[in-house]
A = this chain, B = another copy of it.
Amino acid sequence: MTTLEQDIVSMAIRAKKAARSLVTLSTEAKNQALLQMAETINSKRDFIQAENEKDLLNGKEKGLSAAMLDRLELSDKVIDSMMAGLREVAQLPDPVGEVEKMVKRPNGLLVGRMRIPLGVIGMIYESRPNVTVDAAALCLKAGNAIVLRGGSEAIHSNMALASVLQDSLVSQGIAADSVQVIPVTDRAAVNSMLAQEEYIDLIIPRGGEGLIRFVSETSRIPVLKHYKGVCHIYVDRDADLEKATPILLNSKAQRPGVCNALEGVLLHKDIAEGYLPVFVKAMKKAGVKLLGCSESVKIVPDMTPAMESDWGTEFLNLTLCVKVVSDMDEAFAYIDTYGSQHTENIITENYSNAQRFIAEVDASAVMVNASTRFNDGGELGLGTEIGISTTKLHAYGPMGLEELTTRKFIVYGQGQIRG
């Protein structure tokens, strides 16, 4: 084993040990620690920003883009929002120890399922250092230890935040090893982390598709991931078009760079001729570039013809594909082929079509008459989220506190034996 590997193993072992102590930590103690973290971040603002400045200077030297530097910066506003996030998580109900119901078996055994922490979460992420705080807060509240491995460009910021979080934990009598940042940012550290299946229970990668593929192909530990968000809206023949336009605009243009933004619109053929001109006008006004199928280009020639490679692309900018479909089955087939199991919506006033869409479409969130932007932990009522899973095992869709736990069976008996 190299020294690096030894260090990672040692961190993982310490995380496991810390996780054990978190299982029985009271909700009050966890909440106090979260509030203390917000306080300490505030009082150590200068230190955090000075360390962040080192990352920003390195980034400028390395020629990082303005967008990258923007994500990296721990401005007062970002720090305030990290503090608000910590206080918000302190307010959320603690899932640990919850038993939804107990059933009484014919032999008198009382059987239930109790929520318990998963154990140790490994988080692998890219530039944004605020993920360090957001992820640590959610993991702590759900009773898990966390081992974080951020990007090289944010290493000073991440180490500074980790030391502040650990100080807060220690001041509340909680094991510092509950939150650890790996101080090494090369790929060997990731490889070594992904081999600690004995100590780390779950890996959550956040970043580009390349990182996520690498992690899921390398990891011996289960991975919860989403590769990309290629979201669609199907505008049904029976759509209320007064609702359609604001929903389509909001889905595409409110924040085009995120995973729940709209990438493709499917229009029923019977409304295409009437609605396309209205739709194109509204989109163009919002600065959206439209790529149309041959049918739609026939109706509104003022659109770029889409190429095969455009279908299913996650543009993450103001580009949008438009396709005319002859019925809902064609819409389903399109979504099946080009969707990413993230968010799929229908606009319709037709009851049966709405119910069929909800039942049959395979995506982490399926919606009727609403913006795709609602596929978000906060908006769906989870409080906040640590990511969105587009694979089905354990969690499908936004992952909140509950998804950072599991359930064990608990049984209260009075001396029962099996016959």
Interface residues of A (CB under 8 A from B): 20, 23-24, 97, 103, 105, 109, 111, 113-114, 116, 118-119, 201-202, 217, 220, 222, 240, 242-243, 246-247, 249-251, 254, 336, 354, 358-360, 362-371, 373-375, 379-381, 391-394, 396-398, 406-418
Contact = CB atoms under 8 A, between A and B. Distances in A.
Nearest to A246: B417
Chain A contact residues, majority secondary structure: mixed
A375 B416 CA distance: 13
A367 B418 contact: no
Contacts of A336: 20
Nearest to A332: B20
B393 A406 contact: yes
Given A247-B417, A358-B410, 18 more contacts: A105-B380, A109-B370, A109-B374, A113-B397, A118-B392, A119-B392, A242-B415, A246-B415, A354-B412, A365-B410, A366-B408, A367-B412, A369-B412, A370-B415, A370-B417, A375-B409, A394-B394, A396-B407
Contact of A254 (B242, B254, B379, B418): B418
A417 B24 contact: no
Contacts of A119: 392
Contact of A220 (B217, B414, B415, B418): B217
Nearest to A375: B409
A9 B307 CA distance: 29
A103 B201 CA distance: 31
Given A250-B418, A374-B109, A413 B116 contact: no
Contacts of A222: 222, 391, 393
A369 B242 CA distance: 63
Given A23-B362, A105-B381, A396 B415 contact: no
A249 B417 CA distance: 9
When all copies of this chain in the complex are counted, the total is 2
Given A358-B114, A362-B23, A370-B109, A397 B411 contact: no
21 contacts: A20-B336, A109-B370, A116-B362, A116-B392, A202-B393, A217-B220, A240-B415, A251-B417, A358-B412, A362-B408, A365-B408, A365-B409, A365-B411, A366-B410, A368-B413, A369-B415, A370-B413, A374-B418, A394-B394, A396-B406, A398-B409
Nearest to A221: B393
Contacts of A220: 217
B363 A408 contact: yes
Contacts of A397: 113, 407-409
Contact of A103 (B23, B381, B394): B381
A395 to B, nearest CB: 8
Contacts of A391: 201, 222
A362 B114 CA distance: 11
A54 B366 CA distance: 51
Contact of A250 (B20, B109, B417): B417
Closest 9 CB pairs of A and B: A370-B413, A250-B417, A243-B415, A367-B411, A365-B409, A373-B418, A394-B394, A392-B406, A369-B413
A396 B371 CA distance: 35
Given A397-B408, A409-B366, A359 B24 contact: yes
Nearest to A365: B409
Contacts of A370: 109, 411, 413, 415-417
Contacts of A368: 411-413
Nearest to A255: B418
B381 A416 contact: no
